[in-house]
Amino acid sequence: MKHTSVMTQEPGSTIACHECDLLISLPELEHGQTASCPRCNHLLTRRFLGAQNRMLALAISSLIFLAFSLTFPFMSFTSQGKEFVISFSDTIISMMLMDYFSIAMLLFFTTLLIPAFCLLSLIYVLISLQRKHFLPYTHQVLHLVFILVDWNMAEIFLVAVLVSFIKVSSLATVTLGLSFWSYVLFIICLVASLSLLDRYQIWRKVKLHER
Amino acid sequence: MKDSHRDNAEQNHQYGCPVCLTLNDMSHARCRTCNRHLHLINSKSLQHTVALLVTSILLYIPANLLPIMYTNWLGQKTASTIMGGVISLWEPGTYPIAVVIFVASILVPIGKILALSWLCISVTIKKSDSRRINVELYRLTELIGRWSMVDVFAVAILAALIQMGQIMSVYPGAAALAFAGMVITTMLAAMTFDPRLMWANQPHIFIKEK
């Protein structure tokens, strides 16, 4: 990947660096190029080949994997001949039953609702960009994506699953179910999709589309 | 590196929207592209960061002193704190997990609180010679903040998975709540900290315009 340190005097669209407030004239980037701030080295924008289509495809597959991960057993635990199976939603429900409603809500929002909402909104915006006229509330939806994306903790949940898996495996036999593998695929697609999301490029598309 | 006071958006009476990066005139109340409410660099941003930081320090105390998990093993009920969990995992075979938990629930929160406190102090006393390190510190804090949640999630999973009554069962403790609150407040503190404050006090920026 080529890396260009942007000169401040080049023609193009002017933006202020998100971190150090330096005024920068961004040139039109080629596919695969990256622009970073000449003063603080903050990554300003990246342009990928076919980013929109790849993002859309990954977001849709991610949602499908998420739907799958809700239906099958997530983890099972065998001790003294008895088998205990939990699904993904059981972690949230059991927290609620143990009077830890706030932890249940935290889990529900950060590992399920926010990632799902981000993916749905991203799909909505990307479809909206491909149409002749914008679908209603495109700006607001895209705005929400950028606010909520910081609160997505799906990949942290995955690490927590692995941690508890190893903790329990010394005491009893634990097996990871189909849902778990589906959740892994969901996270791979989610992370891949969100890594293609670029503030500057997508808002530029929205602006150009409006003209 | 050549940069005059004219190069900062603020000195040009312009403001870059934090959501869509569009450059707006300072007289505008809302961004012309995404309609976000615009607010300028002000001392309030620092106040919010400090307030959230103090909250997280206060929450960090019960998070470490109270038990995060109760284990019921053949009728015996034992409570374990975060540090206790790390120590009990420090056995042959589970070293990597002990390290993960230690880094995520002890090292990262302390490091984050210290880093944010240092950033707030260095911005207030207008110390600009350590800016390079500060910028890296800020980026690191934003990147790793969420990962402390691992312990809370692990407790939730264990409590859901291991429910066999008297034989073996796991229950969450009050520290889980305090710890989750601490992670959220440190995340909010890092988000409210305005990185432009680190650059706003460059000596040559104060050169008077003619």
Q: Do A16 and A74 sit in the same domain of this protein?
A: no
Q: What is the pLDDT of residue A7?
A: 43
Whether residue A38 is found in the same domain as residue A125 = no
Which structural domain range is residue A65 located in?
Answer: 51-210
- pLDDT at position A111 is 93
**Chain A residue with minimum CA distance to B156:** A91
User: How far apart are alpha carbons B145 and B142 in whole angstroms?
Assistant: 6
Q: What are the φ and ψ backbone dihedral angles of B130, each rounded to 5 degrees?
A: -105, 25
pLDDT digits (tens, 9 = 90+) for A3-38: 444 444 334 588 888 888 888 888 888 888 999 988
Query: In whole angstroms, how far apart are CA B186 and each of A111, B183, B191?
Result: 19, 5, 9
Q: What is the pLDDT of residue A2?
A: 44
Please report the pLDDT score of residue B125 as a whole number.
Answer: 81
* Same domain (yes/no): A34, A68: no
A99 & A150 share domain = yes
Report the residue of chain B nearest A22, measured CA to CA: B8
Q: Is residue A156 domain-shared with residue A55, that is, in the same domain?
A: yes
Instruction: Indicate if A59 and A73 belong to the same structural domain.
Output: yes
Q: Which of A162-166, A202-206, B88-92 has the lowest mean pLDDT?
A: B88-92
The full set of domain ranges for chain B reads: 1-40, 42-205
pLDDT of A16 reads: 87
Name chain A contacts of B108, Cβ cutoff 8 Å. none
Q: What is the pLDDT of residue B134?
A: 87
Nearest-neighbour CA in chain A from B204: distance (Å): 14
Mean per-residue pLDDT, A67-76: 90
If one compares A124 and B46, the residue with the highest pLDDT of the two is: A124
Question: Could you say which of B10, B158, B162 has the minimum Cβ distance to residue A21?
Answer: B10
Q: CA distances (Å), A89 to each of A93, B65, B168, in order?
A: 6, 30, 22
Could you tell me the fold of the domain covering B42-205? Butyryl-CoA Dehydrogenase, subunit A; domain 3 (1.20.140)
Cβ-based neighbours of B138, under 8 Å, separated by 6 or more: A19, B115, B119, B190, B193, B195, B198
The whole-chain average pLDDT of chain A stands at 87
Are residue A57 and residue A13 in the same domain, yes or no?
no
| Residue, of B45 and B107, whose pLDDT is higher | B107
ipTM: 0.86
Would you state the pLDDT for residue A105?
94
How many independent structural domains does chain A possess?
Answer: 2
CB B198 within 8 A of CB A39: no
Q: Which of A21, A95, A103 sits opposite B8 (nearest CB)?
A: A21
Mean pLDDT on B82-90:
84
Band of the pLDDT at B56, cuts 50, 70, 90?
Answer: very high
A25 burial level (CB within 10 Å; 0-12, 13-18, 19+): middle
Evaluate whether A159 touches B100 at the Cβ level (below 8 Å). yes
Distance (Å, rounded) from C-alpha A185 to C-alpha B24? 40
**pLDDT tens sequence across A114-168:** 999 999 999 999 999 999 888 899 989 998 999 899 999 999 999 999 888 888 8
Span B149-204, pLDDT tens digits = 998 999 999 898 888 777 888 899 999 999 999 999 999 999 888 888 887 655 43
- The mean per-residue pLDDT over the stretch A190-194 comes to 95
Q: Do A65 and A94 fall into the same domain?
A: yes
Residue A84 and residue A40 in one domain:
no
What amino acid is encoded at A157 in this protein? F
End-to-end CA distance of chain B: 23
- Whether residues A114 and A127 fall in one domain: yes
The pLDDT value recorded for residue A10 is 38
Pick from A164, A183, A195, A198 the residue to mutate for testing the B interface (most B CBs within 10 Å).
A164
Mind listing the pLDDT tens digit for each residue in B3-31?
Answer: 445 678 877 778 888 888 888 887 888 88
CA distance linking residue A2 with residue B124, whole number of Å: 38
A153 contact residues in B (CB cutoff 8 A): 146, 149, 153
Which tens digit of pLDDT belongs to each residue from B108-163? 999 999 999 999 888 888 766 778 888 889 999 988 888 889 989 999 998 988 88
What's the pLDDT score for residue B111?
92
Contacts of A203 in chain B (CB under 8 A): 19-22, 33-34
A20 shares its domain with A57: no
Question: Best residue in B6, B138, B153, B171 to probe A by mutation, most A CBs within 10 Å?
Answer: B153
Tell me the whole-structure pTM to 2 decimals.
0.87
Q: Say yes or no for a CB contact (<8 Å) between A159 and B100.
A: yes
Higher model confidence: residue A111 or residue B10? A111
For residue A25, what is the enclosing H or E element?
A: strand A23-26
Query: A26 with A111, same domain?
Result: no
